Amino acid sequence: MKKRIYLSPPHIGKMEKAYVDEAFRDNWIAPVGPHIDAFERELAQYVGVKGAVALNSGTAALHLALRLLGVEEGDVVFCSTLTFVASANPILYQGAHPVFIDSEPNSWNMSPQALERAFMDSAKNEKLPKAVIIVSLYGQSADMDPLLSICKRYGVPVIEDAAESLGATYKGKASGTFGDFGVYSFNGNKIITTSGGGALVSNDTEALNKARFWATQARDQARHYQHSDMGYNYRLSNVLAGIGRGQLQILDERIRTRRNIYDRYVRLLGDAPGFSFMPEMEGSYSTRWLTVVSIDLQQSGIRSVELVDRLEENNIEARAVWKPLHLQPLFEKCLYYSHKEGYSVSDHLFATGVCFPSGSTLEEEDIQRIVACIREMV
């Protein structure tokens, strides 16, 4: 069988091992150390915020952000529906109730129209959300200006789940830096990785210090082990932060590579009937973390799931786009606001969308093999 082509495997550069070796040499193996401090500074500088907290996952960062905003049991949090379950699980951790907001066609991210209707209803019911989680998918920023304008009008803070969009920009500003808090993921499949890991970023350094305190078991400044607040074991290790420092140095190179891979797919499959590639919204710059296409059954004659299965038969990993959270059994009782009355963009994308292999280690012969397999069906 031909070699396996993965969707988005890790890609390690030259500096990561040097930083890890340094951590071993100096015996900084614990979840404290110079690499963590440096990684936080370097990440904050890269995206243009005052501070960052390195954590063991993006999920942990979301959880801390919700707690910092005072989300408690019985509260409501609005959240993008077209995303991974980790975007909404922390809402449940706090005992709050998610309300899901549809995507819009231009960015595939949160719909301002749906968000507006959700706010209008919540205002009528005198139950405004405690926060809004805006997710930026597949390396593309959401259309932040209208979304932020709506949230500001109602006085509700914003958390940007930029787990998939580190390195993307919106009107020249880094994705993840528009809200009160931003969240990044460094999971193994992301554009850069620390194996597992994430970060919380903000210009509110006092809040970040509180998050850092909570993330290290909320240990009081005392000679003995004393705890006056509930904490978590959420910090990133110094070893993994060393990997992150090396990865961060080559992030721009990884973005260029993934954008070139997207361009190759478009050149080779742009004329395929019924194929529509994820758009790059005007004024935004996508990392193209994943190349994603929507396939119209009537024009192409094939279903997205059939294409995923055919690629798998050829040892090529492809996936459907995220199953919207409002369709998940876990959230079946939650409210949902579609882009338009009677039309759900996220449902359509789930039914038609396919993520192609997009890793920065993908070679030309791999792309040709993937395209040849697809061409056999269209």
In a domain, 57, yes or no: yes
Domain CATH code at residue 85: 3.40.640.10
If asked whether residues 60 and 199 sit together in one domain, one would say: yes
Q: Give the residue numbers spanning the domain of 291.
A: 252-375
Which two three-digit tokens encode residue 94? 């706090």
Burial of residue 126 (CB within 10 Å: 0-12, 13-18, 19+) is: exposed
Average pLDDT (18-30) is 92
Which two three-digit tokens encode residue 218? 């909320």
If asked whether residues 224 and 95 sit together in one domain, one would say: yes
The secondary structure element, H or E, covering residue 63 is helix 58-68
From the list 101, 96, 90, 98, the residue with the least C-alpha distance to 75 is 96
If asked whether residues 214 and 86 sit together in one domain, one would say: yes
Among 250, 278, 296, the domain-final residue is: 250
Among 191, 221, 250, the domain-final residue is: 250
If asked whether residues 82 and 174 sit together in one domain, one would say: yes
In a domain, 273, yes or no: yes
In a domain, 132, yes or no: yes
Evaluate if residue 1 carries a pLDDT over 80.
no
Strand order in the sheet with 275-277: 275-277, 291-295, 353-356, 319-320
If asked whether residues 240 and 275 sit together in one domain, one would say: no
- CA–CA gap between residue 50 and residue 89 (Å, rounded): 27
- CA–CA gap between residue 193 and residue 13 (Å, rounded): 11
Evaluate if residue 278 carries a pLDDT over 80.
yes
If asked whether residues 194 and 204 sit together in one domain, one would say: yes
Angle at which helices 304-313 and 364-375 pack, to 10 degrees?
A: 130
If asked whether residues 234 and 256 sit together in one domain, one would say: no
If asked whether residues 239 and 339 sit together in one domain, one would say: no
CA 86 to chain centre: 9
Q: State the sign of the Cα–Cα–Cα–Cα dihedral 156, 231, 58, 337.
A: negative
pLDDT range class, residue 53, cuts 50, 70, 90? very high
If asked whether residues 295 and 259 sit together in one domain, one would say: yes
Average pLDDT (88-116) is 98
**Residue ranges in 216-359 assigned as alpha helix (H):** 238-249, 251-269, 297-300, 304-313, 345-352
C-beta of residue 320 within 8 angstroms of C-beta of residue 7: no
What's the total number of domains in the chain? 2
If asked whether residues 193 and 288 sit together in one domain, one would say: no
- CA–CA gap between residue 56 and residue 281 (Å, rounded): 31
Pairing of β 131-135 and β 76-80:
parallel
Among 214, 232, 250, the domain-final residue is: 250
- CA–CA gap between residue 304 and residue 348 (Å, rounded): 11
From the list 163, 198, 155, the residue with the least C-alpha distance to 180 is 155
Average pLDDT (76-101) is 98
SS3 (DSSP) at 214: helix
- CA–CA gap between residue 79 and residue 362 (Å, rounded): 33
If asked whether residues 76 and 107 sit together in one domain, one would say: yes
Which two three-digit tokens encode residue 52? 């960052």
In a domain, 261, yes or no: yes
C-beta of residue 166 within 8 angstroms of C-beta of residue 192: yes
From the list 346, 354, 348, the residue with the least C-alpha distance to 277 is 354
Average pLDDT (181-210) is 97
Look at residue 112 in the predicted model and tell me its pLDDT. 98
DSSP summary character for residue 225: -
In a domain, 9, yes or no: no
In a domain, 37, yes or no: yes
If asked whether residues 300 and 193 sit together in one domain, one would say: no
The one-letter amino acid code at 220 reads D
Look at residue 259 in the predicted model and tell me its pLDDT. 98
Look at residue 30 in the predicted model and tell me its pLDDT. 80
Domain CATH code at residue 318: 3.90.1150.10
Give 119-140 pLDDT, tens digit per residue. Answer: 999 999 999 999 999 999 999 9
| CB half-sphere exposure, 354, CA atoms < 13 A | 25
pLDDT range class, residue 378, cuts 50, 70, 90? confident
Task: Write the CA distances from 170 to 99, 177, 265, 292, 337, integer angstroms.
Answer: 25, 10, 24, 19, 25
